């Protein structure tokens, strides 16, 4: 076959078909190190100090209120029967979800060999770890006596009591702790070569020691790389399963119950999609800030943001499908209890939250069908903020709206959060962003080793002229 | 066997199958005839739809590695067209197999409440609407691609790229309609909102398996020059991933219903877990999940033709078993498999092969007019 006759040079193709480069401008391995590792070695700018002051204040507010909760008891929250679960579980599900984008980017896109992921994977993975840390606080608080939270773990004990393995809350303990361990391992493994670069570059002795310990004797020898690549792929494979399993188990908390509105078979894939959706929105917001403030525009390009926004659009359509199927099943089941709950979602006490969810998650992101909006900061910030709000309220609707009118009308109650609830929610954002800012200060925000693989000449060309 | 010999065998098979099919109606009863018809028509239709989805997916994500293989799913997606008359014919089965057409059953408040959706005119409209949309997609994506073979006009890629995302939405809705109308409404009281996703998972996996088999067949005959084990590896990887996805959705649906144990939904599983059907579930778990999952784990398994042929064939069989397990129990006569089932199988499979052979006379074996063919051929892991 004469392939020369049919192959069109890239420049001759219509713009929409061309593949943009994954980085812009001349970048060499040396300049890449300088660009990415330099912020770690410099004194941070004033803006960073202002930002971390704000987030720390929020964090301290949250911590103080958590302390107040533990000291007083969870009666300081708005939860009460029938709404036994509220902000605590909403926040837990919300933050666990935020983590999922990181795992998808680092693991699934790695297996798909999507090379554009390389410059955003490190940051997204870091966000995963911080999000899971924040999420883990809430169930611990909700048990009421966090100092006994270790009872959740099954170990032979003198009380001769085992946790209830048939409870999905127990499955959560395993799912989330596995998720955290694997994410941390994956992140640390990817960081090792970068730690070694930092060790070799930094001047300060304390820092050098710190990075040297973390680099764990990495010398960059061929056998190091061989093992590294192998381990990285295997952990990516494990992490891929976790993208599905963690939020599926979280969804089981609801779906195995007999509560109308919770017992839906679509919950597992629907929760996973929502998690990736919210996570990507958070990553896009963070990436916009990072590329603007840390001088990384040539590594995190508009193309990256464009692709991430397409993923947000895809997730939005999938969410619309899930909402549609929920509404459809509510009707098709011909079950009066499900009818009632679904009616409550859109026209009940919290109907406004239902519509806010639908608008933010399925209508506003449709802007991204237009290329111009996928590449405009204001548009992406609006959509990302909408998705963050929408996904938080989605969990609010699922949890509070379904619970506040249960099977016994005499127990029906309108739930109202207290100021403590709101303060802890704000505090969780403060804690998350404080961790993110610290990370941006002490660790390279881009995996330089992975970026070197996509530099020109970074990959051996296979079979380049063998098709004549 | 030479070419004309194969053709003769297929024609003989189709005719003999048809004789058995017709005999089924008169000898074994029309209920059994139509349940087989629905089963086999949905089986072939979902293979075709899975392939159409693969074609559209390539355009949506702008994949290049799969360009040299694209003609294979394009040709296989012609099965959707072949199944349109089969679907129209299957409408005759509505009053025979679908309880919601029975006025007696409609008196039940649960089923009767659904009559707005489950009624014959609206059902027919939905079938026509789906068929129309699939034909439109076929014309735009497949015919356009074959036409590109001559002129090599990159404007086709632009059009396909614009249309494919829209098709994804169409596909999502139509596959859900297929799931709820043809399969789930056989038991009109039952509901499960993940059912559309479950059928999608099986459909995509069946499309992948058929594509993999056809690619390996053509490669063995040297008809896909330049396609390497690296391309095959990606197909193997996709098979692996979607074996897991299908199992995940299937298990999640089962777990949630089993755990909740609510009579209004669990009856569907109860029927399908008793006696021989329960044994079939175990077979499904093994053939549709454990075997392909374990076999495809090693890296080399994903590109080795011998193992892939086995696994892809097993996936098609498993997809059929899955549909059999969902559809056949409505007959209420246990898991029958005898000459009627065999005749239907021979008839549908032989007709499909004849149809595909006909499709293979049109256009080249690879999309030679696609500007990305070269880049696709240069793909290495």
Q: Which two tokens stand for residue A374?
A: 């996928």
Subunit contact A333:B191, Cβ cutoff 8 A: yes
Looking at A33-47, A334-348, B303-317, which range is the least confident one? A33-47
The pLDDT tens digits of the residues spanning B136-195 come to 999 999 999 999 998 888 899 999 999 999 999 999 999 999 999 999 999 999 999 999
Pairwise CA distance, residues B130 & A172, whole Å: 41
Long-range pairs, A209-217, Cβ under 8 A, ≥24 = A216/A192
Which chain B residues in 321-350 lie under 8 Å from chain A, judged by CB atoms?
Answer: none
| B226 torsion bin: left (phi>0), alpha (psi -120 to 50), beta (else) | left
pLDDT in tens, B11-25: 999 999 999 999 999
Q: Using an 8 Å Cβ cutoff, are B49 and B89 in contact?
A: no
**Cβ of B167: how many Cβ atoms within 10 Å?**
24
Mean pLDDT of A416-443: 96
B29: enclosing H helix or E strand? none
C-beta of residue A179 within 8 angstroms of C-beta of residue A99:
yes
Q: Is B248 in the A-facing interface, judged by CB distances under 8 Å? A: yes
CA–CA dist A280, A243 (Å, integer): 13
Q: Are A260 and B260 in contact (CB under 8 A)?
A: no
Nearest beta carbon to residue A255 from set B226, B256, B372: B256
What is the Cα–Cα distance from A65 to A157, expressed in whole angstroms?
A: 32
- Could you say which residues from 349 to 368 on chain B have a Cβ atom under 8 Å away from some Cβ of chain A? 366, 368
Which of B206, B181, B23 has its CA nearest to residue B87?
Answer: B181
pLDDT tier at A6, thresholds 50, 70, 90: low
The Cβ of residue A160 has, within 10 Å, a number of other Cβ atoms equal to: 6
Query: What confidence tens digit (pLDDT) does each residue in A163-179 have?
Result: 999 998 899 999 999 99
Structure confidence at residue A193 as a pLDDT band (50, 70, 90) = very high
Q: How far is CA A149 from the centre of its chain?
A: 25
pLDDT at B1: 56
Q: How far apart, in Å, are the Cα atoms of A77 and each of A65, A86, A142? A: 10, 9, 10
For residue A34, name the pLDDT band (cuts at 50, 70, 90).
confident
A468, pLDDT greater than 50: no
Which pLDDT band holds residue A461 (cuts at 50, 70, 90)?
A: low
What is the average pLDDT value for chain B, to the nearest integer? 95
The helix/strand/coil state of A83 is strand
Assigned token pair, A248: 């599926």
Map residue A207 onto helix, strand or coil.
Answer: helix
Cβ atoms of B228 and B73 within 8 Å: the answer is no
Report the pLDDT averaged over residues B79-98. Answer: 96
In chain B, what residues touch A18 (CB-CB under 8 Å)? none
pLDDT higher than threshold 90 for residue A160: no
Give this complex's ipTM: 0.96
Cα torsion B233, B245, A250, A162: sign: negative
What is the DSSP annotation of B70-128?
Answer: THHHHHHTHHHHHHHHHHHHHGGGHHHH-GGG-HHHHTSHHHHHGGGTSSHHHHHHHHH
A266 CB within 8 Å of a chain B CB: yes
With bands split at pLDDT 50, 70 and 90, how would you rate the model's confidence at B312?
Answer: very high
Residue B226 has pLDDT above 80, yes or no: yes
Are B190 and B184 a contacting pair, CB within 8 Å? yes
Per-position DSSP letters for A367-414, written without gaps between them: GGGSHHHHT-HHHHHHHHHHHHHHHHHHHHIIIIIHHSS-S-GGG---
Query: Residue A55's pLDDT is what?
Result: 97
- Per-residue pLDDT at A15: 81
A43 burial class (0-12, 13-18, 19+ CB within 10 angstroms)? exposed
Distances, alpha carbon A158 to alpha carbons A59, A162, B137, in Å: 38, 10, 66
Interface of A with B in 288-347 (CB under 8 A): 317, 321, 325-326, 328-329, 332-335
Measured distance CA(A398)–CA(A358) in Å, rounded: 12
Backbone angles phi, psi at A407, to 5 degrees: -65, -15
**Residue B132, Cβ neighbours under 10 Å: how many?**
12
Q: Whole-angstrom Cα distance, residue A44 to residue B200?
A: 51
Nearest neighbour of B260 by CB, restricted to A13, A263, A268: A263
Q: What is the mean pLDDT of residues B331-351?
A: 94
In contact, B127 and B181? CB cutoff 8 Å: yes
Q: What share of chain B is helix, strand, coil (3-state, %, to 5)?
A: 80, 0, 20
A329/B191 touch (CB, cutoff 8 Å), yes or no: yes
Q: Give chain A positions within 8 Å (CB) of B62.
A: 17, 19
Chain A residues lying within 8 Å of B248, measured CB to CB? 244, 248, 268-269
Domain ranges for chain A: 82-144+166-444
Please report the pLDDT score of residue A25 as a whole number.
82
Q: Work out the pLDDT band at A3, boundaries 50, 70, 90.
A: low
Locate B30 and state its tokens: 């029309």
**Quick one: angle between helices B339-359 and B78-90, nearest 10?**
140
Structure tokens, A277: 């959706």
**pTM for the whole structure:** 0.95
Name every residue whose Cβ is closer than 8 Å to that of residue B155 and which is 6 or more positions away in sequence: A14
- Report how far apart, in Å, the C-alpha atoms of B127 and of each of B85, B87, B89 are: 11, 8, 11
Locate the domains of chain B by residue range.
Answer: 10-369
Q: Rounded CA gap, B119 and B99, in Å?
A: 11
With CA atoms as reference, report the closest residue to A131 among A441, A442, A435.
A435
Q: B332: cis peptide before it, omega within 30°?
A: no
Give the tens place of pLDDT for each residue, B65-88. Answer: 999 999 999 999 999 999 999 999
In angstroms, the Cα distances linking A400 to A82, A83, A250, A404, A407 are: 9, 6, 16, 6, 14
Tell me if A19 and B109 make a contact (CB, 8 A cut-off): no
Q: For residue B98, what pLDDT is reported?
A: 96
Q: Is the pLDDT of residue B59 over 50?
A: yes
Please name the residues in contact with A116: beta carbons below 8 A apart, sequence gap of 6 or more: A22, A303, A304, A307
Length of chain A: 468
State the Cα–Cα distance between residues B330 and A214, nearest whole angstrom: 63
Question: Number of CB pairs < 8 Å for A and B?
Answer: 121
Distance CA B87, CA A73 (A): 63
Interaxial angle between packed helices B30-61 and B120-137, expressed in degrees from 0 to 180 and rounded to the nearest 10: 40
* Touching A: B residues 159-198, CB under 8 Å: 161-162, 168-169, 172, 176, 180, 191-197
H-state helical runs in B192-275: 195-220, 229-260, 263-271
Inform me whether the pLDDT recorded for B99 exceeds 90: yes
**What pLDDT score was predicted for residue A460?**
64
Question: Which pLDDT does position B9 carry in this prediction?
Answer: 95
CA angle, B341 then B342 then B343, to 5°: 95
pLDDT above 90 for B248: yes
| DSSP SS3 for A80 | strand
Report yes or no: B67 and B373 within 8 Å, Cβ to Cβ: yes
Residue A5 pLDDT more than 60? no
Report the run of H or E that residue A282 belongs to, with start and end. helix A267-293
Tell whether B371 is within 8 A of chain A (Cβ).
yes
Place of tokens 């299937």: B250
- Contact of B7 with chain A, judged by CB distance below 8 Å, is answered with no
Helical axes B30-61 vs B305-327, angle rounded to 10°? 130
Query: According to the model, what pLDDT value does residue A21 have?
Result: 82
| CA–CA–CA angle A402, A407, A410 (5° rounding) | 105
Decide if pLDDT at B213 tops 90: yes
* Residue B97 scores a pLDDT above 70: yes
pLDDT at A467 exceeding the cut of 60: no
Residue A465 pLDDT > 50, yes or no? no
């Amino acid at each position: 076959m004469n392939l020369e006759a049919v192959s069109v040079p890239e420049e001759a193709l219509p713009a929409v078909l061309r593949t943009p480069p994954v980085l812009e401008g001349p970048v060499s391995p040396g300049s890449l190190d300088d660009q990415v590792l330099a912020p770690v070695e410099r004194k941070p700018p004033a803006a960073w100090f202002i930002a971390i002051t704000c987030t720390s204040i929020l964090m301290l507010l949250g911590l103080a209120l958590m302390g107040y909760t533990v000291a007083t008891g969870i009666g300081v929250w708005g939860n009460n029967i029938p709404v036994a679960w509220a902000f605590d579980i909403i926040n837990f599900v919300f933050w666990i979800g935020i983590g999922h984008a990181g795992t998808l980017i680092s693991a699934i896109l790695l297996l798909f060999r999507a090379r554009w992921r390389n410059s955003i994977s490190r940051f997204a993975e870091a966000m995963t770890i911080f999000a899971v840390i924040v999420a883990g606080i809430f169930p611990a608080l909700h048990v009421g006596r966090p100092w006994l939270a270790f009872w959740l773990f099954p170990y032979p004990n003198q009380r001769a009591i085992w946790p209830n393995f048939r409870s999905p809350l127990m499955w959560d303990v395993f799912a989330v702790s596995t998720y955290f361990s694997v994410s941390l391992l994956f992140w640390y493994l990817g960081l090792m070569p970068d730690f070694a670069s930092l060790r070799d570059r930094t001047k300060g002795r304390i820092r050098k020691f710190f990075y040297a310990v973390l680099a764990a004797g990495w010398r960059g020898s061929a056998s190091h790389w061989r093992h590294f690549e192998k381990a990285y792929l295997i952990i990516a494979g494990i992490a891929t399963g976790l993208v599905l399993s963690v939020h599926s188990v979280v969804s089981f908390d609801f779906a195995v119950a007999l509560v109308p509105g919770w017992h839906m078979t679509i919950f597992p894939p629907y929760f996973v999609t929502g998690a990736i959706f919210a996570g990507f929105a958070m990553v896009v917001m963070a990436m916009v800030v990072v590329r603007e403030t840390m001088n990384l525009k040539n590594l995190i390009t508009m193309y990256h943001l464009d692709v991430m926004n397409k993923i947000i659009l895809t997730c939005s359509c999938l969410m619309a499908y899930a909402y549609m199927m929920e509404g459809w099943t509510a009707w098709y089941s011909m079950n009066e209890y499900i009818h009632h709950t679904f009616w409550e979602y859109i026209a009940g006490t919290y109907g406004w939250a239902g519509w806010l969810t639908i608008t933010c998650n399925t209508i506003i992101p449709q802007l991204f069908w237009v290329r111009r909006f996928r590449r405009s900061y204001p548009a992406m910030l609006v959509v990302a903020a909408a998705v963050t709000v929408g996904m938080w309220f989605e969990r609010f609707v699922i949890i509070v709206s379904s619970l506040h009118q249960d099977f016994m009308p005499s127990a029906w109650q309108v739930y109202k959060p207290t100021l403590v609830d709101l303060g802890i929610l704000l505090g969780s954002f403060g804690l998350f962003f404080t961790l993110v800012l610290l990370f941006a200060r002490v660790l390279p925000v881009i995996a330089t080793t992975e970026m070197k693989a996509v530099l020109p000449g970074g990959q051996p060309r296979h079979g380049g002229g063998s098709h004549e | 066997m030479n070419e004309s010999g194969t053709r003769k065998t297929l024609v003989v098979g189709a005719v003999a199958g048809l004789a058995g099919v017709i005999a089924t109606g008169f000898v074994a009863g029309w209920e059994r005839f139509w349940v087989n018809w629905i089963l086999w028509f949905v089986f072939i239709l979902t293979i075709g739809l899975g392939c159409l989805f693969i074609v559209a997916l390539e355009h949506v994500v702008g994949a290049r590695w799969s360009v040299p293989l694209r003609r294979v799913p394009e040709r296989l997606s012609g099965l959707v067209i072949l199944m349109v008359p089969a679907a129209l014919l299957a409408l005759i089965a509505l009053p025979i197999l679908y309880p919601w057409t029975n006025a007696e059953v409609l008196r039940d408040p649960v089923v009767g409440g659904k009559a707005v959706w489950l009624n014959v005119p609206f059902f027919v409209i939905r079938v026509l609407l789906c068929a129309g949309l699939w034909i439109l997609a076929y014309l735009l994506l497949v015919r356009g691609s074959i036409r590109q073979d001559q002129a090599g006009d990159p404007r086709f890629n632009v059009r396909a790229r614009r249309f494919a995302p829209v098709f994804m939405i169409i596909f999502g809705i139509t596959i859900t309609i297929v799931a709820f109308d043809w399969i789930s409404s056989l038991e009109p009281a039952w509901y499960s909102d993940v059912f559309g996703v479950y059928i999608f998972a099986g459909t995509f996996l069946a499309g992948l398996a058929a594509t993999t088999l056809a690619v390996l067949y053509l490669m063995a005959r040297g008809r896909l020059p330049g396609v390497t084990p690296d391309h095959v590896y990606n197909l193997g990887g996709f098979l692996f991933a979607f074996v897991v996805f299908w199992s995940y959705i299937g298990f999640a649906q089962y777990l949630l219903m089993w755990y909740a144990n609510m009579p209004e939904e669990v009856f569907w599983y109860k029927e399908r877990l008793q006696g021989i059907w329960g044994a079939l579930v175990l077979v499904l778990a093994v053939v549709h999940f454990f075997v392909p999952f374990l076999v495809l784990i090693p890296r080399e398994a994903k590109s080795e033709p011998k193992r892939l042929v086995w696994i892809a064939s097993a996936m098609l069989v498993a997809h059929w078993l899955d549909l059999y397990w969902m559809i056949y129990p409505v007959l209420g006569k246990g898991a029958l498999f005898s000459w009627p089932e065999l005749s239907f199988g021979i008839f549908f499979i032989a007709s499909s092969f004849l149809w595909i052979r006909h499709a293979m006379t049109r256009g080249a074996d690879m999309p030679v007019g696609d500007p990305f063919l070269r880049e696709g051929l240069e793909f290495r892991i």
